[in-house]
Structure 1
Amino acid sequence: MKRRDFIEKTAASSALLSLGLSLSSFENKETKHLTILHTNDVHSYIDPFPANHPRNPNMGGVVRRAALIETIRKENPNVLLLDAGDIFQGTPYFNYYGGELEFKLMSMMQYDLSTIGNHDFDNGVEGLYAQMPHATFEFVSANYDFKNTVMDGLVKPYKIFNKNGIKVGVFGLGIELDGLVDKAMYKETVYNNPVEAAQDMVRILKKENKCDLVICLSHLGYNYKDEPNKLCDLKLAAITQDIDLIIGGHTHTFLDKPAIVKNLVDKEVLVNQVGCYGINLGRIDFYLNNNNNKQNAFKGTSIIV
C-alpha cells in the first residue's frame, strides 16, 4: 500500500467494511479505539533508499515515517508506538555515532517502548549503555537478566500503559545470544527461557494487573521452517495464553497483515512483523467496548513508508 493511499484505504470505515461490519457498529460512545504502530529491525537506516535501488527505490526513511506517524496520531490520539529490536547496525550512521542518532530520532518520533535485539549488542553492552541517555522511551525484556552488567536497572520486564481507559501491558522477549553474539559483547547478560518468562508476564499482566490487552515485543523470529524445533513467534502464540498480540522481529519477515494463531485455550492471537530497514510501518487497530472487552473487529496492515 502506498503511503499517499493510506488515509483513505486504512481509515476505520474501510477497515470495518473489510470485515463485513459497518462503521456505525463501533464508533459510538461505548467504543474505545486503540492504534498500535510498530517497527522492527530498522538497523540504522535513517535515509530512504535511493531512487535507483533495485528492490526498494525511494522507500523508507525517518522523515517519511515521522510524517506518517504524525498523521495517524491526528486521526486517533490513542496510539502506542513500539519497536521489536535491532535498532542498531547496518549503515555508517551506526558506525560513526554508535546509536546516538537512532535513539534521538526515535525519541523525537515519541516511541513509547522497545525491546532489545541481538544487534543492539554490536558495540557491546557498554556501547548500548552509553546510548541510553539519548532515549526518552523505555526498554523491556523479560528474559534478559542484566543484573551483573552496566545495564542493570535500565531494562524492565514489562510496562503498563493506560490509553483512554484501556490498560495495555507490554513485555519483551529476546533471542538466545549464545552462538549469535560474541560473549565479549553481552558479557554477563543472562538468557532465560522465553516461554517461562512469557507465562510469568501474562500472569502478572493479565491476572494480577487486569490488563485489557497484553502485547509481546519479541525478537525471537517469526518462523523457522528449516528448524522446526526452534522457538518462534508462531509457536509462542500457540503454546501460551492471554497474549493478544505478538509484535516480532529478527527474521526480517514482511507480512501484509497479521497472522492469526489459536493459542493454548483456542483463542486468537495476532502475530505481526513488518520486514526491516524502516521500509514499512505496522498498524493494528483494536476496538473495545465500554467494558474494555474486545469487539470482533481489528484492522492490521503494513504501510509502505
Structure 2
Amino acid sequence: MEESVLNRRGFIKGAAASAALLALGLKSENLFAKDDFIKITILHTNDVHSRIDPFPMDGGRNQGLGGVAPRAALINKIRSEEKNVLLFDAGDIFQGTPYFNFWGGELEIKMMSMMGYDAGIMGNHDFDNGVEGFAKQLTHANFSVINSNYDFTDTDLHNKTIPYKIFKKGNVKIGVYGLGIDFEGLVNKKEYGNSKYLDALKKALEMERFLKLDQKCHMVVCLSHLGYRYKEGNKICDVELAKNTRYTDLIIGGHTHTFLRKPDSIRNLSGQEVLVNQVGFAGINLGRLDFVFSKNNHKKMVYSSAIEVVENNFKI
C-alpha cells in the first residue's frame, strides 16, 4: 500500500477541463459565475481509521497532519466559499487508535455527524466490533450509510443501511451507490455473522442503470471500498469497475490507502470517461472535485480536482 504524503495543495486542472474551457471561450472564474451553469463540489475521505487527533509532532513523515479539528475547519471554509457541497467517506472509519478501543466507534460517528457528512460506506475494519457493534454506533449517525452489495437481512444491520441515495443540488440530481469488499480472508466469520457479500460488479451494473435510466440522475457516483488496483487480474477493484460499467461517472475509493495525485481517468464500456479517486488514509488529505453542469440540459461541462492537505493550522 502506497502511503506517501502529498505536500502540496491547490487545483490541478485536467486536460479535459482545459480543453472544454478553451472551446467555450471562457476563463474558469467567468464560467463559474455565469447564471447558466451550476457548480457541484464533492469532498471525500477514506480509511480515516479512528484518527481523531493529528499525528504527533515526533519527527515522523506524517507529523502534524490529519485530525478531525483541522479537517472540520477546512470543510467549513470550503462550504463558506461554495454553494453546492457534498461530503462522502469510502469506509474503514474504525480501528487504528485507542479512541476505537475505548469507545467502539462512537466518537468517530459523532464527529462525522458534526462535520456534516452526507453519506459513507462500510469498510472491512468497520466490522471489527462485529455487525452488532457497527449497528449500535449508527444510532449516533445523522448521515446515511449506503450499502448496495451486502445482504444484512438476518443481522442487526437489517434496515439500517440504504442501497442508494439521490442528492439534489440546484437542478442537478446526483445518484450515489456503495460497494463493500468481499469478507473472505479479511473479516472473521464471527464478526460479519450472517451478512452476505453480493457480487460487486453485478450490483454496480444494476445500481448505475437504475440511477441513470430509471431515476434520471445527471451524475452517478460509486463509493467503493474495493481497493484501487491489484496485481491479480481477476480481483474486482476500482479500475476494473470503471472499465466494466456504463453509467458511473465517478468512483470514490478506499481500502488500499492509495494516494493519487489526481483522479485516474478511465474509459468505460460506452467509451465515456470515469474518474477514480482515492486520497490515502488517516484523514491526511481531503479529496476535492469540482464539476460544472449546464443548467439548461444538465450536461457536465468541465471538472477540476484538488488535493487538500489537512494540516493543524486551521481554527474552527
TM-score, normalization: structure 1?
0.94
Question: Is residue 221–residue 248 contact of structure 1 (8 Å, CA) maintained in 2?
Answer: yes
Matches of 2:90 and 2:112, distance apart in 1: 13
Match of 1:255 among 252, 260, 263: 260
Amino acid at match of 1:256: R
Which residue number in structure 2 is paired with residue 287 of structure 1?
A: 292
Note closer, same or farther for the CA distance 1:29–1:189 as it changes in structure 2 (3 Å cut): same
Correspondence for 1:19: 18
Q: Which residue of 2 aligns with 1:228?
A: 233
Q: Do the aligned residues in 2 keep the contact of 1:89 with 1:119 (CA within 8 Å)?
A: yes
> Per the alignment, in what secondary structure is the counterpart of residue 270 of structure 1?
strand
Task: Give me the whole-angstrom Cα distance separating, in 1, the residues matched to 2:258 and 2:285.
Answer: 11
Q: Is the Cα–Cα contact under 8 Å of residues 226 and 254 in structure 2 kept in the other structure? A: yes
Unaligned runs of 5+ in 1: none
Aligned equivalent of 1:136, options 134, 142, 162: 142
1:67 equivalent in structure 2: 73
Q: Distance in 2 between matches of 1:281 and 1:122?
A: 25
Listed as ranges, the matches of 1:48-63 within 5 Å are 48-63=54-69
The 1:17–1:263 alpha-carbon spacing in structure 2 relative to 1, beyond 3 Å, is: closer
Query: Using the alignment, how far apart are the partners of 1:17 and 1:69 within structure 2?
Result: 26
Which residue, out of 276, 282, 287, partners 2:281?
A: 276
What are the residue-to-residue correspondences of 1:1-305 with 2, within 5 Å? 9-10=10-11, 19=18, 21=21, 22-23=27-28, 24-225=30-231, 227-290=232-295, 291-295=297-301, 297-305=302-310
Distance 1:18 1:55 in 2: 33
Where relative contact order (Cα < 8 A, 6+ residues apart) is larger, the structure is 2
The alpha-carbon deviation at position 26 of structure 1 amounts to 4.5
Q: Where does structure 2 lack aligned partners over 5 or more consecutive residues?
A: 1-5, 22-26, 311-316
Does the CA-based 8 Å contact 2:11-2:307 persist in structure 1?
A: no
CA pair 269-17 structure 1, distance change in 2 beyond 3 A: closer
CA distance 1:53–1:187, shift in 2 (3 Å): farther
CA contact (8 A) 1:16 1:299 kept: no
Shift of 1:16: 9.7
Q: Could you tell me which amino acid in structure 2 is paired with residue 31 of structure 1?
A: F
Secondary structure of 1:69 counterpart: helix
CA contact (8 A) 2:262 2:306 kept: yes
Structure 2 counterpart of 1:242, one-letter code: Y
Offset of 1:162 from its aligned partner?
Answer: 0.5
Alpha-carbon deviation of 1:53?
3.8
Q: Deviations over 1:118-146 (max 9, x none)?
A: 00000000100110111110101110010
Superposed CA offset, 1:214-272 (max 9, x none): 000000000012x1221110000001110000000000000111000000010000000
Structure 2 distance, partners of 1:53, 1:126, is 39
Separation in structure 2 between the aligned mates of residue 115 and residue 176 of structure 1, nearest angstrom: 14
TM-score normalised over the length of structure 2: 0.91
Contact 1:30-1:289 within 8 A present in 2 as well: yes
Q: Deviations over 1:18-63 (max 9, x none)?
A: 8263122443111000000000000000000112242111111100
Q: Is the 8 A contact 1:2 1:303 kept in 2?
A: no
Give the deviation of 1:10 after TM superposition. 3.5
Task: Give aligned-pair identity as a percent.
Answer: 54
- State the AA in 2 paired with 1:99: G
Are the equivalent residues in 1 in contact too, given 2:205–2:245 (CA < 8 A)? yes
- Using the alignment, how far apart are the partners of 2:218 and 2:233 within structure 1? 32
Report the AA paired with residue 46 of structure 2.
N
Aligned length: 297
Task: Provide the C-alpha distance between the structure 2 equivalents of 1:86 and 1:51, rounded to a whole number of angstroms.
Answer: 24
Structure 1 residues 184, 83: closer, same or farther in 2, change over 3 A? same
